[in-house]
Chain A
Amino acid sequence: QLQLQESGPGLVKPSETLSLTCTVSGGSISSSGYYWGWIRQPPGKGLEWIGNIYYSGSTYFNPSLKSRVTISVDTSKNQFSLKLSSVTAADTAVYYCARLVATIWFVPWGQGILVTVSS
């Protein structure tokens, strides 16, 4: 059964770069036809799509975050990563990674990781 697990620091200082990794188990990140995505959820608020990556490195980003987001993939480790630069308190959220099926819907999701931006 495919599982995803987010990892990284739970606390980031303002103006610094948030870095998270999603480890995929139970399947290959290089499986043809699947994108891999990042979604976030500020406390008490809704879901916001951040961006997607294909195992070849092709990426798509939310226009509202595009200037600050980098998503990369490491097929040898079966992982993909998120970097969000110049963070502020508004970037405090639970960050989820997920597989994108048929280029349309996200399943399964990781359990999520809370990242707090604070000095």
Chain B
Amino acid sequence: NFMLTQPHSVSESPGKTVSISCTGSSGSIASNYVQWYQQRPGTAPITVIFEDNQRPSGVPDRFSGSVDSSSNSASLTISGLKTEDEADYYCQSYDGSNLWVFGGGTKLTVL
């Protein structure tokens, strides 16, 4: 089955830039769009990136997404880190065969 693997946790200081990776288990992650969701404690996830690199309205341009076919991975990059960015981040994709998959999630600590 298609799986997405994320680091368990990352940390960085305010004002810095951090990237979170999402690696596909098989096939090409570039074949299907990747989304990124932010989830703060006790709240529902919200979309910060859809279709690999698109930002919904209201999401700051400090958030960006990319896909690297050579490593079969996607990345979420957050620049100018703020303490409010501290949250869990999940990647998600559709495998093209009626299976929707989430990564295991990455806890971002801004310290």
Chain B CB within 10 Å, residue with most, of A102, A104, A112: A104
Q: Which of B10-18, B23-31, B76-84, B96-104 is the contact stretch?
A: B96-104
A105 and B102 contact, Cβ closer than 8 Å, known pairs A46-B90, A96-B44:
no
0/1 interface trace, chain A 79-105, chain B, CB 8 Å (1 if under): 000000000000000001000111111
Q: Does A110 contact B (CB under 8 A)?
A: yes
Give the interface residue-count category, chain B: 20 to 34
Are A49 and B102 in contact (CB-based, < 8 A)? Answer: yes
Interface residue from A37, A47, A52, A63 paired with B90 (Cβ < 8 Å) = A47
Find the B residue at minimum CB distance from A97: B44
The A contact surface, by secondary structure, is strand
In angstroms, Cα B101 to Cα A106, docked, is 11
A105 and B92 contact, Cβ closer than 8 Å, known pairs A46-B103, A48-B102, A63-B1:
yes
13 A-B pairs within 8 Å (CB atoms) are namely: A46-B105, A47-B37, A48-B102, A49-B99, A49-B101, A60-B100, A103-B94, A104-B35, A105-B35, A105-B47, A106-B45, A106-B92, A110-B44
